[in-house]
């Protein structure tokens, strides 16, 4: 995979522009990846609800749980669904709204300097092998484009918002991810 540095887009990924983003504040440099887990409705997979949510087009009449999130303005840079399909919502050059109130190594507002990658899943259901394979390819492309992203700066949402967030959850196999990342 290759990132077009000028556009901030991952080549070959589906692009569905989200309005929920803005410019990164100067002089921020991208130096971290935050891995998330999401399913809409909770625990259900395979629909276009996540994409619609990130694009501000979620039809709240389709599920009662959507009322709770109807006013949220949330996005991620990438989503990797259960089949391994990658959708980009925000160019890497812009700030996606994925981390919320967050802090890492004393630096707050992690959206300012991170890339948010969502995996379709839950804390309890194991992620698919193809999701790990695609995630590793994305991470390697990001590390090539943004060399300040080291393995130590690839974290879960729970690491930057402890007590508030639990994703990607116990079902995310960090050891397997690390093995793929170092062998690939």
Q: Domain holding 43: CATH number?
A: 3.40.80.10
pLDDT per residue as tens digits for the range 28-51 = 799 999 999 999 999 999 999 999
3-state SS string for the chain: CCEECCCCEECCCEECCCCCEEECCCCCCCCEEEEEEECCCCCCCCCCHHHHHHCCCCCHHHCHHHHHHCCCCCCCCEEECCCCCEEECCCCCEEECCCCCCEECCEECHHHCEEEEEEECCCCCCCCHHHHHHHHHHHHHHHHHCCCCCHHHEEEHHHHCCCCCCCCCCCCCHHHHHHHHHHC
Domain that holds residue 95: 3-183
Q: How many domains does the chain have?
A: 1
pLDDT per residue as tens digits for the range 139-151 = 999 999 999 999 9
> Which one from 118, 124, 128, 152 is the annotated catalytic residue?
118
Is 118 labeled as catalytic in the residue annotation?
Answer: yes
């Amino acid at each position: 995979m290759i990132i077009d540095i000028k556009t901030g887009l991952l080549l070959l990924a589906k692009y569905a522009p989200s309005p929920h983003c803005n410019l990164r504040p100067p002089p921020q440099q991208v130096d971290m990846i935050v891995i998330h887990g999401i399913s809409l409705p909770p625990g259900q997979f395979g629909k276009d609800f996540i994409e619609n949510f990130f694009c501000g087009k979620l039809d709240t009449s389709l599920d009662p749980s959507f009322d709770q999130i109807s006013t949220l303005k949330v996005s991620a840079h990438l989503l990797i669904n259960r089949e391994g399909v990658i959708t980009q919502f925000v160019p890497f050059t812009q700030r996606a709204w994925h981390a919320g109130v967050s802090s890492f190594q004393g630096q707050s507002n992690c959206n300012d300097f991170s890339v948010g990658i969502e995996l379709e899943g839950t804390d309890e259901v194991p992620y698919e092998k193809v999701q790990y394979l695609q995630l590793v390819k994305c991470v390697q492309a990001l590390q090539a484009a943004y060399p300040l992203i080291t393995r130590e700066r690839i974290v879960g949402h729970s690491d930057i918002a402890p007590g508030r967030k639990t994703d990607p959850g116990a079902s995310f196999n960090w050891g397997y991810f690390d093995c793929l990342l170092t062998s690939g």
